[in-house]
Amino acid sequence: MKAMASAARLRLCLLKLWSDFNGFGFVLTAERERLGLYIEDVEDESPAKAGGLKSGDRIIEVNH
């Protein structure tokens, strides 16, 4: 049951560069205390915000 609850929170976020925006509009962080890479400081009106990223999200996979 616990695995299903975790899986229910997974979501796909699609980011695309905008010609009139420098970068994607988020900060990527890593900490010794917790495994993984995390999203912080998602800028309003940015590709990251439009793609669905939220501060505190953990990156589990990247595809290009």
Q: What is the pLDDT of residues 11-40, one digit of tens each?
A: 899 999 999 999 999 999 998 998 899 999
Give the largest Cα separation in the chain, rounded: 45
Average per-residue pLDDT in the chain?
A: 88
Cα angle, residue 63 at apex, residues 19 and 6 outer, rounded to 5°: 115
Cα distances (Å, whole numbers) of residue 30 to 13, 33, 36, 37, 39:
19, 9, 6, 5, 9
* pTM of the predicted structure, to 2 decimals: 0.77
pLDDT digits (tens, 9 = 90+) for 44-61: 999 999 999 999 999 988
| Structure confidence at residue 45 (pLDDT) | 97
Joined tokens for residue 12: 């796909």
E-state strands within the chain: 27-31, 34-40, 58-59
In the chain the domains, ranked by start, together with CATH numbers, are: 2-59 (2.30.42.10)
